[in-house]
Amino acid sequence: MIPYNAPIQDIRFTLNHVVDLPAVAALPGYEAASPDLVDAVLEEAGKLARDVLAPINWQGDQEGAVLDNGVVRTPTGFKEAYRAYAEGGWNSVPFDPEHGGQGLPWTLAMPIQEMWNAANMSFALCPMLNQGAVELLTEHGSEEQKRLYLEKMISGEWTGTMNLTEPQAGSDVGAVRSRAVPAGDGTYRITGQKIFITYGEHDFTSNIIHMVLARTPDAPPGVKGISLFIVPKFLVNPDGSPGARNDLRCAGLEHKLGIHASPTAVMAFGDNGGATGFLIGEENRGIEYMFTMMNNARLGVGVQGVGIAERAYQQARDYAKTRVQSRALTGRDPGPVAIINHPDVRRMLLTAKSQIEAARALSYLTASAFDRAKRHPDAEERRRAKALNDLLTPITKAWCTDLGVESASLGVQVHGGMGFIEETGAAQHLRDARIAPIYEGTNGIQANDLVFRKVARDGGETALRLLAEIRDTAAAAKDRPGDDMAVIGGNLADAAAALEQATSWVVETAKSDPAAVAAGAVPYLRMSGIVIGGWLSAKAAIAAQALMAAPGEDRRFLDGKLITTRFYADQILPQVHGLLKPIVEGHRAVMALDAEQF
């Protein structure tokens, strides 16, 4: 199995020169994120990812999680890896110091999450879901709830889960039917079945704290009648000691295409009269509370896409360096060469690499907008940062997870026939990556969110402000010396013009013809991802070129950055010119066919 090495040099470059982590670290409350600490955190996280999480990834896929008489057994080594992860303090990185968190910026938490996901996506899902539960409790839990649950969920002693989906309530969470009946003592009796519950049951920890959406008896229909409950696997006594087993159980594990080591549970609540649930906040506000953690959850899934794309790329790259096959197309050597010398193999690798670096920057930028929205001393800056985070979140979720699949599929192809053999490991990445465009809101849902709520609702203000920045960067690139920079700046400016045209159309059309805008939403999101990725790549190239003359810099790395951006400008940015018609004209045919004509 080809090992995983966290791309720390690229991560550090992106943090420092593309998304300006130093500025984030200067915000009040983030002072702990000094350059030395950042370096140490990245190095240590990289070691855990490489030495502990990555080596059990393939075997975990083969073994899978197993349900045996109500008990879930995770694959060999996973429990021990979780212990190492929790004991290392990794679970607490971005959380509130008041409850034991380290209070580090999300801008730093994201690169670490990228490493966990690259090393072992099935493993990383457990902390990812816990994170959502922690955020919910931090924002909306009572003091008593925080005291009882939060510290242990932050330390990693317990994990949290999210119980939203039911068979009839997938994308349409308003269709939830699980019931919550007041028990008369302030608690509720929860009954119902939840599906697709990630780490709904496992053997990592002594307790599992479920966040469950359910309806109270007189709740209004739809999303406005859903409440949110804490439903612990074991009830917790007021002194924090474990109490009785709650009335809930894992009724089954799904048999999935990928992420086999991650137990995806069917959860049955209330077989024996009702599980004891504790209301969070007020009744009927459950969906509203969910939204407070949704941006970060979606960003987290986007980062999964970056992580799995990187892992698949490393696997393909290292194979391409060692697999010898056929002579080179140019040169006189009649002997066979490593396939990394063949142009089309290079093209495939660079297609992955150039987009991964852009997607990495995008995901960190989205995190930095979250940090600024939370911590910036100036209210207008906070508002703008929040709007930017809102705009970038669906793009990050969808574009980065599509890239995860693309990179994993390219990775299989680079291997040739060996890519199709499971023992090689490349196929697992493709199987694992394929879930990310689906869960946490399908990429189609993300695209609808983008066009209607993030672009049209404010009349395009946030999107157009970002486009102005992009044009500035394109102009700055054109002012730099060299052909590569001229192409990078020129192609970025052309692509931004196409996005501006599409954005204006979305803003103008969203109210008058929402079906037309919805039909073009996915290509619009894709265009946005490509252009914003191109912008961040251009920023990286500009910084790399500027640094190249400085003493002590790694010129080989910086030169590679420039060439990689040139590749992106040549091969990825021009795709936007094939997307404008689908966005603005695609709906005619899309809406014309009868269901029976499909």
Q: Segment 248-287, which members bind its own copies (CB under 8 A)? A: 254-258
| 156, 99 Cβ separation under 8 angstroms | no
Residue 1 touching its own copies (CB under 8 A)? no
Binding of its own copies by 419 (CB under 8 A):
yes
Shortest Å distance, C-beta 458 to its own copies: 20
Please, which residue, 43 or 344, has the CB nearer to its own copies? 344
Residue 223, amino acid? V
- What number of CA atoms fall less than 13 Å from residue 468's CA on the CB side? 6
Give the pairing type, strands 159-163 and 208-214.
parallel
Nearer to its own copies, 301 or 345 (CB): 345
Rg of the chain (C-alpha set):
24
Provide DSSP, 438-502.
TSSS-HHHHHHIIIIIIIITTTTHHHHHHHHHHHHHHHHHHHSSSHHHHHHHHHHHHHHHHHHHH
State how far the Cα of 569 lies from the Cα of 574, in Å rounded to an integer: 7
**Can you tell me whether residue 181 is helix, strand or coil?**
strand
> Does 514 engage in binding with its own copies (CB under 8 A)?
yes
- Cβ proximity to its own copies, 151 vs 484, nearer residue: 484
Task: Based on the residue annotation, tell me whether 440 is a catalytic residue of this protein.
Answer: yes
- In the bound complex, what is the minimum distance in angstroms from residue 534's beta carbon to its own copies? 13
Residue 409 binds to its own copies (criterion: CB under 8 A): yes
Footprint of its own copies on residues 550-579 (CB under 8 A)?
A: 556-557, 559-560, 563-564, 566-567, 570-571, 574-579
- Cβ proximity to its own copies: between 255 and 332 the closer is 255
Asked if 26 interacts with its own copies (CB under 8 A), we say no
Annotated active-site residue in 423, 440, 469, 553: 440
The answer to the question of residue 338 lying near its own copies (CB under 8 A) is: yes
Q: How far is CA 571 from CA 4, 71, 378, 423, in A?
A: 27, 50, 40, 32
Work out how close the CB of 121 gets to its own copies at its nearest, in angstroms, rounded to a whole number: 13
Q: Does 340 bind its own copies (CB under 8 A)?
A: yes
- Chain residues 353-372 in contact with its own copies, contact rule CB under 8 A: 353
Closest CB to its own copies among residues 545, 564: 564
Assess 332 for contact with its own copies (CB under 8 A).
Answer: no
Closest CB to its own copies among residues 239, 594 = 594
The C-alpha atoms of residue 405 and residue 55 are separated, in whole angstroms, by 22
Number of residues that bind its own copies (CB under 8 A): 102
- Considering only 44-52, 170-178, 205-213, 541-549, which stretch makes contact with its own copies by CB under 8 A? 170-178
Pick 148 or 532: Cβ nearer its own copies: 532
What angle in degrees, to the nearest 10, is found between the helix axes of 379-414 and 521-547? 90
Residue type, 56: I
Give the nearest distance from C-beta 242 to its own copies in angstroms.
33
Q: Which of 329, 468, 475, 546 binds its own copies (CB under 8 A)?
A: 329
Q: Is 497 in the site for its own copies (CB under 8 A)?
A: no
Residues within window 433-492 making contact with its own copies, judged by CB under 8 A: 434-435, 437-439, 442-444, 447-448, 487, 491
HSE-CB for 245 with a 13 A CA cutoff: 9
Token pair 């060692």 is found at 322
Q: Smallest distance, Å, CB 345 to its own copies?
A: 7
- CA separation for the pair 147, 168 (Å, rounded): 35
Question: 12: burial class by Cβ within 10 Å (0-12, 13-18, 19+)?
Answer: middle
Quick check: 252 and 266 in contact, CB under 8 A?
A: yes
Report the catalytic residues: 440
